[in-house]
Amino acid sequence: MLCKGTPAKGVRRSLVRQSVCLLTAYDSIQQPLAAFTVPRMQDLADAHGYQRRSIHGDNWKRPRGWMKIEVIRAAIEENFDFVLWMDVDAVVLRNDVDVRTAAVDDADLHIAWHGPETSEIMAADFVPHFNSGVMLIRVNDWSRAFFKQVWDTGQLRHPWFDQATILHALGYDDCLGLGPDRPNEPNRSRLARLDTAWNSIPGLATAPDPIVHHYAGISNPSTRLRMVEADALTASMRERLDTDVREAIARQFGLWREDAAMRDWITEERDSALAGRSEILSERDQARAQLAAVLGSTSWRVTAPLRWARELFQRR
Helix H or strand E segment including 120: strand 120-121
Q: What angle do CA 212, 136, 201 make, to 5 degrees?
A: 30
Which of helix, strand or coil describes residue 7? coil
- Name the CATH topology of 13-217: Spore Coat Polysaccharide Biosynthesis Protein SpsA; Chain A (3.90.550)
Decide: residue 185, CB within 10 A, 0-12 exposed, 13-18 middle, 19+ buried: middle
Report helix angle 67-75 to 141-153, nearest 10: 150
pLDDT at 285: 78
Per-residue pLDDT of the chain (316 residues; tens, 9 = 90+): 223 233 333 444 444 479 999 999 999 999 999 999 999 999 999 999 999 999 999 999 999 889 999 999 999 999 999 999 999 999 999 999 999 999 999 999 999 999 999 999 988 889 999 999 999 999 999 999 999 999 999 999 999 999 999 999 999 999 999 999 999 999 999 999 999 999 999 999 999 999 999 999 898 999 999 999 999 999 999 999 999 999 999 999 998 888 877 665 565 556 566 666 777 777 777 777 776 776 666 676 656 666 666 666 666 5
Domain positions in the chain are 13-217
Question: CB-based contacts of 118: which residues, under 8 Å, 6+ apart?
Answer: 112, 193, 196
Q: Where are the alpha helices (DSSP H) in the chain?
A: 13-16, 31-48, 67-75, 141-153, 161-169, 221-238, 243-295, 300-315
- The DSSP output letter for 74 is H
Distance CA 238, CA 235 (A): 5
* Residue 176 to residues 39, 150, 191, Cα–Cα distance (Å): 34, 15, 18
